Structure 1
Amino acid sequence: MTNNFEQRRSVLGWGVSLLLAAAVWSLALPAHADSVDLLAQFMKQARSGRADFTQVVTSPSRAGQTPRAKTSSGRFEFQRPGKFRFDYRKPFVQTLVADGQTLWLHDVDLNQVTARAQSQVLGSTPAALLTGASDLQTLKNDFQFTPEPDRDGLQWVRATPQSPDGQIRSVMVGLRAAPSGPELAVLDVQDSLGQRSVLTFTGFELNPVLPASTFVFKAPAGVDVIRP
């Protein structure tokens, strides 16, 4: 059987890429600033955040077949440095927790928990960079940020990894102007296998006080724990 962690590994790419722009929801942005400036403000001001999310993942098309799309939804939370949590609610229940040292993936249907060293799994993915970096210049060591033309009423910025060997090919962030400041509307993530994940989120909270227990994971009794 294919390891469940590998089956779900795209979660790391798209899911935590959400952190790239999540906390800009209520940041004020000067009229002359572009989307890259917005990300710089995010890096300076976002210490924690949480929101509800919806994800649509589309697999690469194959000859004679229509690309398959899967929709899931849930809630995410993050806190610097290096901690985040994704609670999937639909269509299956799953929990992904990074406590700063270990990345835990709990699949309820499979009654299985996979645990891996966080530094080995995340590497230079947006997850590792965005929950640990303190400024945009640090991110530029591993990502190139390029403003994209406005479309669909949104401002866009493209984040492209400096290394072509990672899981993520690019992340497109779409932002919408709002009375309280720029608002995240879309995250469009392309991975190295040709899979596309488009996310939307609602009800974002900037810098909430999150209890320490949010990022503590304990495997339920009777669950198989795999440590590759």
Structure 2
Amino acid sequence: MTFSRRHALSGLCSIAFGLSGPAHADGLDALNQFIKQTRSGRAQFTQVVTSPPKSGQVARSKTSSGSFEFQRPGKFRFDYRKPFVQTLVADGQTLWLHDVDLNQVSARNQAQVLGSTPVALLTAASDLEALKTDFQFKAEADREGLQWVRATPKKSDGQIQSVLVGLRAADKGVELAVLDVQDALGQRSVLNFSAFELNPALPASAFVFKAPAGADVIRP
């Protein structure tokens, strides 16, 4: 598997804004409002995955892009369009990853793999207090027109080292702008969201996945 494909897949599973409205006291207030008031969301995204440099080499990065949708509690969908067509769907029970070029599907128990991940942080809980079982939160200084929160998993043996969440105040509420994820192996994955829609009506079919005929389905 090439660097590009391997790290695009890794970025998928690691994973699932400028101020223009009323200001919040800090990033924690903004994140709490986002979690409480945003029942669903839809956006475009660009993701840059950077791997730590090996001895004598420079760090390498790969950029991908696509669309993101989610619906509480615990349903989301990433459709990667460039550079490879891949789909990541969480239906509330199973996390599905479909690589179109390889005609390969992996299916994993959602609760087992998403408990302390960035996407679970944003799509599973109903308020910030519910997330404090798995994360420690710290408000960061405002910068680049965004309000920031750093979330650190309480379990030190997980894949994620820290998550930096960037939020922007909008007319209809708080929008997600950035997820900056640092994993335990030193890989960094930064997702920038644009054209964010707050509480759109999403069809149930958006979070239903059926493996294509002939696809190799892997269940660990």
| TM score, norm. by length of structure 2 | 0.88
Q: Which runs of 5+ in 1 are unaligned?
A: none
| Alpha carbons of structure 1 residues 7 and 227: separation in structure 2 relative to 1, 3 Å | farther
Please say if 1:118 is aligned against 2:110: yes
1:222 corresponds to: 214
Q: In the alignment, does 2:88 pair up with 1:90?
A: no
- Residue 124 of structure 1: CA displacement? 2.5
Paired-residue identity, %? 74
TM-score calculated relative to the size of structure 1: 0.86
Moved >6 Å (runs of 4+): 4-7
Contact kept, 8 Å, 2:160 with 2:184, in 1: the verdict is yes
Match of 2:187 among 168, 177, 195: 195
Deviations 1:166-219 (A, max 9, x none): 111111123345566655443211011100011211111111111111011111
Q: Which amino acid aligns with 1:53?
A: F
Q: Deviations over 1:42-77 (max 9, x none)?
A: 121111111000000000111110100100000011
Structure 2 counterpart SS, 1:8:
helix
Alpha-carbon shift at residue 7 of structure 1 (Å) = 7.5
Would the aligned equivalents of 1:149 and 1:155 in 2 still touch at CA under 8 Å?
A: yes
Separation (CA, whole Å) in 2 of partners of 1:123 and 1:168: 11
Q: How does 1:168-179 map to 2 (within 5 A)?
A: 168-176=160-168
Cα distance, 1:151 vs. partner?
3.0
Rounded to whole Å, the distance in 2 between the matches of 1:39 and 1:225 is: 37
Aligned residues of 1:59 and 1:194 also touching (Cα < 8 A): yes
Verify the 8 A CA contact 2:37 2:173 in the aligned structure 1: no
| Compared CA separation, residues 45 and 219, structure 1 to 2 (3 A) | same
Counterpart pick for 1:211 among 178, 203, 207: 203
Question: Could you say which residue in structure 1 is the equivalent of 2:12?
Answer: 11
How far the C-alpha of 1:87 sits from its partner, in A, is: 0.3
Counterpart-to-counterpart distance in 2, 1:5 and 1:202: 25
Task: Choose between structure 1 and 2: higher strand proportion.
Answer: 2
Give the root-mean-square deviation of aligned CA atoms: 2.6
1:75 corresponds in structure 2 to: 67
Go from structure 1 to structure 2 and tell me whether the alpha carbon gap of 1:126 and 1:152 turns closer, same or farther (over 3 Å shift). closer
